[in-house]
Chain A
Amino acid sequence: MRGVSIIGIGQTEVREHWERSLRELAVASITAALDDAGVDRADALYVGNMLSGELTGQEHLATLIADFAGLQGIEALKVEAACGSGGAAVRIGYLAVASGLHDLVIVTGVEKMTDCESDLVTEALAMAGDGDYEAMQGLSFVALNALLMRRYMHEYGVSHEDFAGFSINAHRNAVRNPYAMFHRPITWEEFRSARMISDPINLLDSSPVGDGAATVVLCPEEKAKKFCPTPVTIIASATATDTIALHDRDDPLFLQAAHESAQKAYLQAGVSPEDIEIFELHDAFTIMAALSLEACGFADKGRGVELAKDGEISLEGKIPISTMGGLKGRGHPVGATGVYQIVELVQQLRGKAGANQVESHLGMAQSIGGTGATAITHILQGPN
């Protein structure tokens, strides 16, 4: 195995892109990333995407995108792991380069969600759980997370308001990210009184769906300087799974797969949670932010919310999260999100995060599929 570096990044704004199609979004981010890397060709393209078939009527997606990106002929495959599809595609790209099979790999995450009516999107997102035994009972994906949040509040004696800090922090950081969906800060009062979706989860606990695409270009670490003066190195890549359904877990409040993939990543990188300076976590809902912090060793069980209350997750805090807005503020084009996280970490580690810059050398990203059923963790190291 050899080291893998990121030599190019590209992204589109996350929003309702009525004027741009799925393929156009993907191609725009690929073109930007190839220009950033200073290359015009690669050995392979891996596309993270969850719902192109369901919402756009388009499968065989990676081949379509390779075709329209001017990459005809190359290996092109779609990678799917529900909301973790983007992280999963990065994982496959990493394996391809680390193994020595490919020298130059493009990883793109893309999702197009706003062409459909919202009840169809809600139905499609529920496919991240167990179709026969969760979705068929009428549970939306939000409802599955709401079951976790209610139980968390019950077991640890915390209130809904205790989660406010996660959404307030995410929105504050999104304001200064030009690619983010939301550019408006929110207040504690707005959080408290937002419209209920699936109680106790309200609109401001929830990340918004959106359209968007993000791309990274990977190459072997030893060749990275040839392409890029500030290559960022992937020093750990690890994946783990848990039961697909919440009801099959011994302790639904502990994200076992998130824990295991983080532990494997720490071991590979030779670091511990205290060494991580930025954590781009999967804050699809405020409860997931709290559970991710706990699973990855940044807080004890039941104490994840305290990091939000004490401001430790802010840009100046002990463990900054969602530094460019996270899923909540940047937006959550589901299959693209895991690649956005990596792109944003690269911006940070290159020192190019603008007003949201965190002085940092080590950052971690974790992409989660379903209610914690798949977790993909990457640790990135900045240029020396």
Chain B
Amino acid sequence: MARKKRKVKSMSLARHWRLQDERYKLIGRECAACGKKLFPTRDICPHCGSRDLKPYRFAGRGEIYSYSTIYQPPAGYEGFVPYTVALIRLDEGPLITAQLTDVDREGVEIGQRVEMVTRRLREYGPEGLIVYGYKFRPVLKG
């Protein structure tokens, strides 16, 4: 059953393709009514209820709000173990959930400055789709 399941899921190319603006460019929304910046994309502002939302590209920088290193991963992420995930407070306001990459796990701390990079998120088996998207790494000095 497990093999069949992975096969079915690997076919869902469109599910990943339609999120390419979010995953590759960190494009969310800005509410034209209240000015709040939103990630991910929504059609209705959760703060003021406005439906007038415009695309907004986040700069991809922020600081770590919380983090955890995963030793027991979900199926599809075995190759990364152990890997560190975080909630990141973007400079424009919202929190985002993402993996950290290019990072010394022992040195991660709350408040640390990080920036977005594009990396491989997961694979669906040897013949399946490879999904790319945002991860965050410590801001490079200089």
Report yes or no: B74 in contact with A126, Cβ–Cβ below 8 A. Answer: yes
A31→B88 CA distance, assembly (Å) = 50
Report yes or no: B46 in contact with A248, Cβ–Cβ below 8 A. Answer: yes
A142 interface hit (Cβ, 8 Å): yes
Contacting B19 at CB < 8 Å: which of A132, A196, A243, A247? Answer: A132
Which residues 1-44 in B have Cβ within 8 Å of A in the complex? 1-2, 5, 15, 19, 40
Chain A's closest residue to B16 (CB) is: A136
* Nearest CB of A to B15, in Å: 8
A146→B67 CA distance, assembly (Å) = 8
In the complex, identify which listed stretch (A116-124, A354-362, A376-384) lies at the interface while the others stay far away. A116-124
A136→B95 CA distance, assembly (Å) = 16
Report yes or no: A120 in contact with B2, Cβ–Cβ below 8 A. Answer: yes
A232 interface hit (Cβ, 8 Å): no
Which residues 36-60 in B have Cβ within 8 Å of A in the complex? 40, 46
* Nearest CB of B to A115, in Å: 9
Q: For A119, what are the chain B residues with a Cβ–Cβ distance below 8 Å?
A: 73-75, 78
Report yes or no: B97 in contact with A122, Cβ–Cβ below 8 A. Answer: no
Take A132-B40, A139-B85, A199-B68 as given contacts and tell me if A120 and B75 are in contact as well, using a CB distance cutoff of 8 Å. yes
Chain A interface size, under 10 / 10 to 19 / 20 to 34 / 35 or more? 35 or more
Contacting B87 at CB < 8 Å: which of A118, A142, A252? Answer: A252
A68→B14 CA distance, assembly (Å) = 39
A223→B46 CA distance, assembly (Å) = 45
Chain A's closest residue to B40 (CB) is: A133
A142→B2 CA distance, assembly (Å) = 22
Chain B interface size, under 10 / 10 to 19 / 20 to 34 / 35 or more? 35 or more
Q: For A137, what are the chain B residues with a Cβ–Cβ distance below 8 Å?
A: 85, 97-99, 121, 133
A71 interface hit (Cβ, 8 Å): no
Chain A's closest residue to B86 (CB) is: A147
A133→B15 CA distance, assembly (Å) = 12
Q: For A143, what are the chain B residues with a Cβ–Cβ distance below 8 Å?
A: 68, 70, 85
Contacting B110 at CB < 8 Å: which of A122, A138, A154, A252? Answer: A154
A240 interface hit (Cβ, 8 Å): no
Q: For A134, what are the chain B residues with a Cβ–Cβ distance below 8 Å?
A: 97
Take A138-B122, A243-B46 as given contacts and tell me if A147 and B74 are in contact as well, using a CB distance cutoff of 8 Å. no
Take A132-B19, A132-B40, A136-B131 as given contacts and tell me if A246 and B97 are in contact as well, using a CB distance cutoff of 8 Å. yes
* Nearest CB of A to B109, in Å: 9
Contacting A140 at CB < 8 Å: which of B46, B73, B94? Answer: B73
One digit per residue, 1 when the CB lies within 8 angstroms of any chain B CB and 0 when it does not, for chain A 189-206 equals 000000111111100000
* Nearest CB of B to A205, in Å: 12
Contacting B70 at CB < 8 Å: which of A123, A140, A154, A246? Answer: A140
- B: which residues have CB within 8 A of A? 1-2, 5, 15, 19, 40, 46, 65-78, 80, 83, 85-87, 94-99, 110, 121-122, 131, 133
A sample of 12 cross-chain residue pairs with beta-carbon separation below 8 angstroms, ordered by A number, consists of A119-B74, A122-B73, A123-B75, A126-B74, A137-B98, A137-B99, A147-B68, A150-B66, A195-B71, A247-B96, A247-B97, A248-B95
